[in-house]
Structure 1
Amino acid sequence: MSKIFLTDTTLRDGSHTVSHQFTLEDAAQIAGGLEAAGIDIIEIGHGDGLIGSTINYGFGRHDDFSLISAAASQLTKSKLAVLLLPGIGTVEALKMAQKAGAKAVRIATHVTEADMGEEHVKAAKDMGLFVVGFLMMAHMTDAERLTEEALKFESYGADVVYATDSGGAMLPEDVFEKISSLKKNLKIPVGHHAHNNLGLAVSNSLTAIEAGATYIDGCLSGLGAGAGNTPTESLIAVLNKMGYEHNGDLYKAIDASEKILIPSLNNKGLKVNSQLDAMILGYAGVYSSFLLHARRAGQRFGVDVRDILMEAGRRKAVGGQEDWLIEIAVELANQKSK
Structure 2
Amino acid sequence: MSTTDSPVVDSTDHVPPLTGRRIQICDTTLRDGSHSVRHQFSADDVATVSAGLNRAGVPMVEVTHGDGLGGSSFAYGFARCPDDELIRTARAQLTDSQLAALLLPGVGTIEHLRRAADQGLDVIRVATHCTEADIAAQHLTEGRELGLVTVGFLMMSHMLPPDRLAAQARVMADAGAQVVYVVDSAGALLPHQVSTRVAALRTALPPEVSVGMHAHNNLGSGVPNALAAAMAGADHLDGSCHGLGAGAGNAATEVLVAALDRCGAETGIATQALIDVAADDVARICAGNLPALDRTALLLGYCGIYSSFLLHARRAAQQYQVAEADIIRALGRHRPVGGQEDLIIDVAIALAQRRQPS
- TM-score of the pair, normalised by structure 2: 0.74
Gaps of 5+ in 1: 273-338
Q: CA deviation at 1:157?
A: 1.0
Q: CA deviation at 1:101?
A: 1.7
Match of 2:353 in 1: none
Match of 1:232 in 2: 253
Return the alpha-carbon distance in structure 1 between the equivalents of residues 242 and 289 of structure 2: 13
Residues 1:173 and 2:192 aligned together? yes
Match of 2:164 in 1: 145
Which residue, out of 232, 241, 248, partners 1:211?
232
Match of 1:11 in 2: 30
Q: CA deviation at 1:32?
A: 0.9
Which residue, out of 54, 62, 65, partners 1:46?
65
Match of 1:66 in 2: 85
Residues 1:252 and 2:240 aligned together? no
Which residue, out of 214, 230, 246, partners 1:193?
214
SS in 2 for 1:174: helix
Q: How far does the alpha carbon of each residue in 1:91-122 deviate from its partner, in whole angstroms, 9 at most, with x for none?
A: 11111111112111100000010001000000
Q: How far does the alpha carbon of each residue in 1:272-323 deviate from its partner, in whole angstroms, 9 at most, with x for none?
A: 9xxxxxxxxxxxxxxxxxxxxxxxxxxxxxxxxxxxxxxxxxxxxxxxxxxx
SS in 2 for 1:15: helix
Q: Which amino acid aligns with 1:232?
A: T
Question: Which of the two has higher C-alpha Rg?
Answer: 1
Match of 1:157 in 2: 176
Kindly indicate whether the alpha-carbon contact (under 8 Å) linking 1:42 and 1:78 is maintained by their aligned counterparts in 2: yes
Return the alpha-carbon distance in structure 1 between the equivalents of residues 21 and 290 of structure 2: 38
Q: CA deviation at 1:271?
A: 7.3
Match of 2:120 in 1: 101
Q: Which amino acid aligns with 2:51?
A: G
Kindly indicate whether the alpha-carbon contact (under 8 Å) linking 2:210 and 2:236 is maintained by their aligned counterparts in 1: yes
Kindly indicate whether the alpha-carbon contact (under 8 Å) linking 1:133 and 1:162 is maintained by their aligned counterparts in 2: yes
Match of 1:290 in 2: none
Which residue, out of 16, 38, 52, partners 1:33?
52
Match of 1:261 in 2: 282
Kindly indicate whether the alpha-carbon contact (under 8 Å) linking 2:242 and 2:290 is maintained by their aligned counterparts in 1: no
Return the alpha-carbon distance in structure 1 between the equivalents of residues 252 and 286 of structure 2: 16
Match of 1:243 in 2: 264
Return the alpha-carbon distance in structure 2 between the equivalents of residues 101 and 27 of structure 1: 15
Kindly indicate whether the alpha-carbon contact (under 8 Å) linking 2:125 and 2:150 is maintained by their aligned counterparts in 1: yes
Return the alpha-carbon distance in structure 2 between the equivalents of residues 271 and 98 of structure 1: 31
| Runs of 4+ with deviation above 2 angstroms | 269-272
Residues 1:22 and 2:41 aligned together? yes
Q: Please report the RMSD computed on the Cα atoms of aligned residues, expressed in angstroms.
A: 1.3
- TM-score of the pair, normalised by structure 1: 0.78
1:65-144 counterparts in 2 under 5 A? 65-144=84-163
Higher relative contact order by CA 8 Å / sep ≥ 6: 1 or 2?
Answer: 2
Return the alpha-carbon distance in structure 2 between the equivalents of residues 248 and 205 of structure 1: 17
Q: How many residues align?
A: 271
SS in 2 for 1:47: coil
Return the alpha-carbon distance in structure 1 between the equivalents of residues 214 and 289 of structure 2: 24
Return the alpha-carbon distance in structure 1 between the equivalents of residues 213 and 56 of structure 2: 20
